[in-house]
Amino acid sequence: RSGNTWSFLLGTTFSQGSVLDAFVDPAHPTATRSNATFQDPKAGSAQIAATATDLGGGKFRYVYAVMNHDVDAKLGSFSLPIDALVTLEDLRFSDGDSDTTNDWTVSTGSGQATWTAPASSAQLDWGTALTISFVANAPPVPSAAQLSRGDDGSVFSINAIVAGPRP
């Protein structure tokens, strides 16, 4: 500050876009980092950014950030294809609050892992995000994640490279 003038030195440039674009740059995906957006003119848009970190010993830490940009119907579940031989451990969920009663629960079977909101009040509203993380005994491969609408349960896929263990 100098007199009545304030100045700020910023170490990085600003860019427009989702906060998930800062987590994984959509312009520079790799085999272990992806960022994809589903856009429907009638339903709205949602985004998934994912990373996979090699922990050694054949294990990988997966982190998925899911954001509902403007799907008014909210999002009720998130699914990934998971082979029956893949083991998930150290599962973590964060929706930005400390209320564990509204945390999404995971179920596995039929070749997928699905995280589901326990009630409509816990569904992912527009303008909000959540994070899901786990350790798996499989390396990342191209995959498609699925999100379901909170109102009618219809499912849409984000058909892009999404880090995730699968057969």
What pLDDT is recorded for position 15? Answer: 74
How many C-alpha atoms does 161 have within 13 Å on its Cβ side?
Answer: 15
Q: Look at residue 159 and tell me whether its pLDDT is greater than 80.
A: no
Nearest to 132 by CA among 99, 97, 105: 105
DSSP 97: S
Q: Look at residue 162 and tell me whether its pLDDT is greater than 50.
A: yes
What pLDDT is recorded for position 114? Answer: 94
pLDDT mean across residues, the chain: 89
What is the Cα 24 distance to its own chain's centre?
11
Q: Look at residue 14 and tell me whether its pLDDT is greater than 80.
A: no
Q: Look at residue 160 and tell me whether its pLDDT is greater than 60.
A: no
Whether 14 and 1 have beta carbons less than 8 Å apart is answered as no
φ/ψ bin of 73: left (φ > 0), alpha (ψ from -120 to 50), beta (otherwise): alpha
**pLDDT tens by residue, 38-71:** 998 888 999 999 999 999 999 999 999 999 999 9
